[in-house]
Amino acid sequence: MALLPEILLFISLSLIPLSHSQPLTTTYYHKTCDRFEQIMQDTTTNKQITSPTTAAAALRLFLHDCLVGGCDASVLISSTPFNKAERDADINLSLPGDGFDVVVRAKTALELACPGVVSCADILAVAARNLVSMMGGPYYTVKLGRRDGLVSQASRVEGNLPRPTMPMAQIIKIFTSRGFTVQEMVALSGAHTIGFSHCKEFSSNLYNYSKNVQTDPSYNPRFAAGLRNACADYQKNPTLSVFNDVMTPRQFDNMYYQNLPKGLGILASDRALYSDPATGPYVALYAKNQDAFFAAFSRAMEKLSLYGVKTGGRGQIRRRCDAFN
């Protein structure tokens, strides 16, 4: 009888489908869902045309998903009376709805075409890539075969996502502790070339920076005046926001880096990226050379998309992306 636990363990392990334990591949759905790429392309294109903020929303959603426990679609789970999920953590409350919506639309179409085959984690990874490319950014490789995570808890989020108010050393540590280099972190920060930030996220730098100074002196003075004007009613209207890249907000390019030396970074963390000696040289490189930025961003996104992925019995293919099976 002493062998019974070992026998049961062997049986339970043998029930895990081995086909899903294989490494991620670009051809994962070729036999099981041959319309996967086309459905993803159609869905992301239609959604972006209808709602131009979708690209930035999906890219931010993907980053927030991956940095907390890996790229496993845990950020998509809705809270229940018994579990406060990741998406309801304070820092995730501002994640735009368009990012969630493009995943739901793709999942609905894919479930009709090939039920129970494609994971929400793969959908989010491919949606982010397709939308970056639609905005003029690089088209990078996304390997497939992720399974959806089995855990989503708001309590796991704090300290694992960069906040604009964090010291640069702390932001760097979030990435280096996950195996990313400082250069890769700076390249991923280039995601701020699209999208927007809510005024409440940086209002303290505009209106009460210190006892003697109203506005953070690292802002360009004219830019700061414009921001104070644009955000004047932020306390009454918490949805007030401004573009992260005020020059080419609808184009994925290297203008974000060109803005930083001019004091045109919206968030304190943006401006610190330029002023910190550990990150400043990479800002200068990408400001000067868009090809270098695109190549580095592509490599960093490919690496991020493989971080903490679940395969085999460590995950599932959710029937709907906002709930565990």
- Residue 88, marked binder: no
- Residue 226, marked binder: no
- Residue 74, marked binder: yes
Active-site position among 20, 30, 64, 198: 64
- Residue 270, marked binder: no
Give the integer Cα–Cα distance in Å for 20 and 214: 56
- Residue 184, marked binder: no
Write out the DSSP string of 54-69: HHHHHHHHHHHHHHTT
- Residue 164, marked binder: no
- Residue 68, marked binder: yes
Q: Is 198 known to be catalytic?
A: no
- Residue 52, marked binder: no
- Residue 17, marked binder: no
Long-range contacts of 37-42 (CB under 8 A, 24+ apart): 37/126, 39/106, 39/109, 39/110, 39/113, 40/106, 40/123, 40/126, 40/127, 40/130, 41/130, 42/109
- Residue 245, marked binder: yes
- Cα–Cα distances (Å) from 244 to 38, 62, 80, 189, 237, in that order, read 31, 18, 33, 11, 19
Task: Taking the CA atoms of 39, 319, 15 and 311 in sequence, report the sign of the dihedral they define.
Answer: positive
Give bridge partners of residue 80 from the DSSP assignment: 83
Active site residues: 64
- Could you list the residues known to form a binding site for heme b, using ranges: 192
**Which parts are annotated binding residues?**
65, 68, 70, 72, 74, 86, 162, 192-193, 245, 248, 253
**Binding site as annotated, residues for substrate:** 162
Give binding residues for Ca(2+) as ranges: 65, 68, 70, 72, 74, 86, 193, 245, 248, 253
